[in-house]
Structures are given as C-alpha cells and as structure tokens.
Chains A and B, each alone.
Chain A
C-alpha cells in the first residue's frame, strides 16, 4: 500500500487514527504494530514472512547479545548480522549475481527471486539495532510489540527514513501528542503528498516519453531535459514520501529523523550527500565508514574506506551494475573534493551550484539507465550528438511544471513555504486546496476510459 494511494488516504489512515485514539494507551504500540503488518501485507503478503523473519532474527540476536559477553556476544552479533544481511542478499541480489555469472559464461541462470517491498529499509533498521545493542545493551527493547513497531512502523516501512532504535525508543515507552504535533504533522503530510502526487508524477512524463522514444532519436538538449526531469521526479517522489512519513508519524506521537534538506541547493557532492537521503548516508557513515577507520587513518586507507562505502551505497540502491557505477562516480567526486577542491567550491558558491547541478545530472544519467549498453547511448547524446528530436515541443508541454519543480526545490522556496505553513490561516487553506488537488490527481490517474462499447 502506498502512502499516496486512495485506499490508504480514505480507508487505512482515517481508520488507523480512529482506532489509535480509542485504544487504551497500554495497547497502542501493539495496535500500531498490527496495523503496520496489515499495511505491509496489503501490498506484499508473501513478503510479510520475510519481514517477520528479519524482525525475529533481529529480536533473538539482540536478546542473545544482551544476555552474553565477550566472544559469545560477538558471535551472536555476527550470526544476527549474517541472518539479516543474508536475507537481504538472497532476496535482492541472488538473480543479479547469477545473471552476472551467466554473462561470464558460468552455466547458471536466474531463479526469479523477487525482493519483498522495503527489504533494504527494514533490514538496515534491524542491522543497526543489533550493532546498537551490542555497543550499548540498554538499547535492547524487551517488549516484542515495541520492537516490532520499531522495525515495521508503517509510515517509514517501505521507503524510510531508516530509523535507529534511539530515534524511537523514548516514544515507544511513552509519548504525548500535542496540538502542535498534529498541526506540524498535517503540514508535513500535505506538503509530502503534494510533492509526490502533483510534482513528482507531473514531471515524470518527460523522462518516460524520452526513454520511450529512445535517446538515439533525441537531441542533445532533449536528453538533458529528460535527465533533469528524472532528477526532479526522484527528489519530489522520495522527499515527498519522507515528508508524508514524518507527518503521519507525528499523528501517533513519533518523530522521525529528517531525510532531505533541499539537497539541490548544495555546492558540492559532499554537501549534497549530507542533505540527500540523510538517514541512509548516516547509516553507512555510522556502521561502515567509522568501523573501517573513517578518516582517522592514512590517506590511502581513507580512500579505500570511501570506496567501500560508495560501492555499497550504489548496490543498496538496486541490484544492477549501473547503481554500482553511480556509487563509484560519487566515490571519485568525493575523493577529489575531499583532497583537492572542496574549499574552492565552498568559497565560490555560484560555481559550486553550477558544478553540483552538472554532476548530479551526470549521476542521475548513470542511475536512471539500468541497461549498461544504454548508458553510452545516452552519454553520446548528452555530449555533442547533433540532430535528433528537438526539445521545443517537450519544453513547451512541460514548461510550467519544470519551472515549478526547479524553483520549489531551492532552499529559499522551502524556507518561504515553511514560513507560510507556520501561519494557521494559510495552513488551513493550503490543506483544503492541496488535498482536493491531490485527490483529483490520484483519482484522475485511475481514469482509463473504455473507448468502445463493451462486449
């Protein structure tokens, strides 16, 4: 079930809120955990077994870690991590590995494993939990419903943010919902819904159209426009979902970590990754980069650490070589910035902005084309290919949406919007208008009239 679907908006969410507020306080976590499992099963009932298995492995291993010491404690941690990551690897990467082997002539073929929805998110939460409990056993969550809710809380279950137990532990024990929480939650929710339904879905057509036509048939400018549209769509889709998740969590008294902070306003890749998918960046920093030694080691070792983090970051995004390529692209940029020109970019902000836009578009070009043979085609058009379908028509068709998307992703626009939404009158009017528009767009997207009489 998507947070932007009608079944969620006019069934699941209102019913959940009603049940939650009439439920005795002591059973609320159990209720929310059960609702989260229903939410998950609605979209992927077979994946529910995987979710519960990962959750069970996490709980049992954490219990073992808390109850043991020394070698056994470490062994249980490793076993727990192997179970959690083993599950992730099996469901997400088996076919990818088999396909890669097959391409080298090994006589194997894909077995058709489908990754359960959100597996990368809930696996990372479970793994973080194990390491946190290992480092500090007071983080252990003894209550099964509380723990299950931490792993599977429905607003963040499918697309994050990736939470750590410290983000939710206090609220799991006791929480109050203030009127400010409800208002702040409403503002975040409606902002997120609008980003997802109107902006992301509105601009997605441009990339889809050009991919369908084929990059080889498209002009250089049209390819740049398409990549720009892809980057904007990804941002509004993902950050919109995070905003909705954060807003809904507030209705139930939880505060989720911030996941996006106007990343396109950055001046370097280094800054961009502090503002884009913050919870994932934080996870890799905390659980991969720092344990490897981070930057407190020699230059070469530091470069290797960055390489490991970014190869894994690429793989985390999808089981395909283009994602690895995309991760390594950022590895190269981050190393260059760190050791050569980050200071220059930070002191020449305009040049930094232009540089950031350019490199993110190059990055999204690698990210968007899954078929490796398609990447050279796109790049040959991006850099100097003459001829091809002119961008004029597409620019005209998407002009208003493009301008809106570009302007609204800036830091200045976000700050103005935040100020406006802090005014009660404006907020109420915005909720009324934007909710109506979002409902219209969601319903309109299901409008597929039968063009002939039925038989």
Chain B
C-alpha cells in the first residue's frame, strides 16, 4: 500500500482535498444565510431546458458552488490573513489609515453628475413652498486627511467643498441655502467624529453639523451635556466588512434616547432607535430603523419647537435627525433611493422647513437624486 501511495503522494493530496470538498458539499446541508457576508446564499438552481440553453443555469450553479463551498467563511478569512503578509495598504477597496481608521476608496467623481444632481435639488427648491436648507457631508478622508497613507489616490472633495457658500460647491446651489459644515468638522478633526470601521460619521460628528444648522435656522441647539448618552461597543461597520482587517479596533455607537414615535412602513414604534440592531452586524441601522423609503417622527410639542420638517436624505442624516426632534414636532424623512412618490407634490406640501442632507459621494453619483427634479 505504502509503495503504491508514496510515488503519487502529491497527486493524492491534491485530489483528496478536491474530492473532500466535493463530497462534503454534497453531504452537508446548504447554508441559507451568511452572517459574515450579510446575505442569503445561493441555493441549488433548478434545471430547465430554457435555463440551460440561455446559460443562466451554469451561471447560477457557479454562484451556488462558490456560495456553498464547505468552510467558505474560513477560506475567506485565510485570504484575509495571507493578504496581510503582502503588507498591502489596502484591501478590497478599503485603505488602511493611521490610528485604526479604514477609508473606503473614492478615487474620482464625474463633475457632470454632481452638477446634474445639484440641478435637480435646485429645481426641487424652486417648487418648494418652504425654505430649503442643504447640508453636504464630506467623506471621512476629507476631514481626517492626515490619517491617510501618503499619496493615497482619493478624489479631492476639499477643493470643491471649501469656502462655504462662495466656494465651488456652494455657488452651484440656487433657490436654497447651502450650509457649510466642513469648517466646523475641520475644527474638531482630532475628535471621534467619524467611525473607524464605517463610512458614516459618528453621533458627535452629526451633532456638530446639527449645531451649525441650528445656528443658521435660529433654533435652540440641543446641548449634549443636558442629556444622557448611551454607548454600544464592538461596532464593526461597512469598511471592516469589506476588508476584514485582522486586529481592527472596533467602534462605539453613541445615542441619546429622545422621546419620539417613529412610523415606518405602516409600523409605529415608540422609539426612534431599533435596539435589536445593536446585536446584529449592521448596527448603524439602529438609527431610524435603518434605510427605507419614508420615516415619520412625531414628538411632543414643546416651547420653541417648530411644526414640521421635511428631510430628503441618505443614511448620513439618520444619526443627526434624532437631535432635530428637540426642534420640530413632526419630521418626515424621505430617502430618494427607495421612495417612488412625486417630489413635485412633496415640494408643495405645507412643511415649515425642508432640509436636504446627503453625503458628498451620493451627491456626486447617486442617480436617484435626479428624481428631485421631476
């Protein structure tokens, strides 16, 4: 036996592994969901003459084999570990910055797309029956540029965003008030205002923008020292999910428990936070119950509070809006990525104020913002 095996040992090793994986994938039950990847895995596709002839069966079977490869998570982890031996400064589109910061790579944007989206916002503003305020959130690398590896090829947002209303970005808006928050964020760039492992800003970063907004609108800003903040540790966000850097410092999510009722998709919740998300991977989704077409927030009337606010936004607004419950009795949040109603009708509705808040990357590339112009 030994004499038969020894001469073909490496061949046997090769095929023992391949047959082992083949047999294991046949015997083991298919996994439905991968919490590591936050997605449902492909299941065995059904065969039909049509699907074989149009190639869709082969395509789906390829995905099935890779999704259901025995030990898939471990293979992915092994790649992550071996990549670290290559001393790379980035992985899977995420650049490793100093102090444990992960920056999602954003090398360029199309200026025409940026102008088109701003044009749509201007068009919406011209139809709006209430004053429109625009806040654009810079990406973390723009504010925390010192933490980037030298020469990392990131698009220059700063030169577009600086100089406030008279700057390149500010001067493109018309019929609305562009509120510059870059300078406020810059003044606090040494604080914890962006997550290390996620592309969003922290609750403190959002508060800085909220504070600027209040100054601009003549509202009383909620003082962070007047309310109790709660913290949830161990948050590993979207940037980490992409690169899975070993030894990564986790983030802390901070939130202030304001009294307000939130309605989303026909469900009414007695909190603006979905605490169940704190035990999942997608913890940022705790704010306003995560992404969705529409959220309506109602809070008790109070002294100095205004009536209604419409917020057209992306997910950056989710951790800022809770502060606004101190200033408005009702806040309606619309995310154009998921909302399919008429923005013209929305503009004509009787809100007291309208806030448009997007991250710069969405403003420069998210095509659903164009819907505001129709």
Interface residues of chain A, those whose CB is within 8 Å of chain B, are: 1, 5-7, 9-11, 13-15, 17, 42-46, 179-180, 182-183, 185-187, 189-190, 202, 209, 212-214, 251, 389-390, 392-394, 396-401, 424, 427-428, 430-432, 435-437, 439-444, 446-455
Contact = CB atoms under 8 A, between A and B. Distances in A.
B13 A10 contact: no
Contacts of A389: 151, 153
Contact of A6 (B8, B52, B65): B65
Interface string B3-36: 0001111110111011101100100000000001
Contacts of A399: 87
A397 B107 contact: no
Contacts of B183: none
Given A9-B18, A10-B25, A443-B66, A432 B7 contact: no
8 pairs of A and B residues whose beta carbons are closest in the complex: A444-B79, A393-B151, A440-B78, A443-B75, A179-B7, A182-B11, A440-B79, A451-B238
Nearest to B6: A424
Given A7-B62, A11-B22, A392 B79 contact: no
A449 B39 contact: yes
**Interface class of chain A by DSSP:** helix
Contacts of B69: 6, 10, 439, 443
A94 B86 CA distance: 44
Contact of B58 (A45, A213, A430, A443): A45
Contact of B108 (A213, A428, A454): A213
**Interface class of chain B by DSSP:** helix
Contacts of B62: 5-7
Contact of A452 (B55, B151, B285): B285
Interface in B255-292: 280, 282, 285, 290-292
A390 to B, nearest CB: 5
**Among B11, B38, B87, which residue has the most Cβ atoms of chain A within 10 A?**
B11
A43 B11 CA distance: 27
A396 B89 contact: yes
A393 B66 contact: no
B116 to A, nearest CB: 21
Contacts of A396: 89, 149
Interface residues of B, number: 63
B17 to A, nearest CB: 6
A450 B11 contact: no
Contacts of A442: 66
Nearest to B33: A454
B53 A45 contact: yes
Contacts of A202: 86
B75 A439 contact: yes
Given A401-B86, A444-B79, A14 B58 contact: no
Contacts of A454: 38-40
Contacts of A13: 18
B80 interface: yes
Nearest to B83: A444
B97 to A, nearest CB: 12
Contact of B8 (A46, A179, A189, A444): A179
Contacts of B19: 14
Contacts of B90: 397
A389 B151 CA distance: 8
A397 B149 CA distance: 10
B89 A393 contact: yes
A451 to B, nearest CB: 4
Contacts of B78: 436-437, 440, 444
A14 B76 contact: no
A159 to B, nearest CB: 18
Contact of B38 (A5, A187, A441, A449): A449
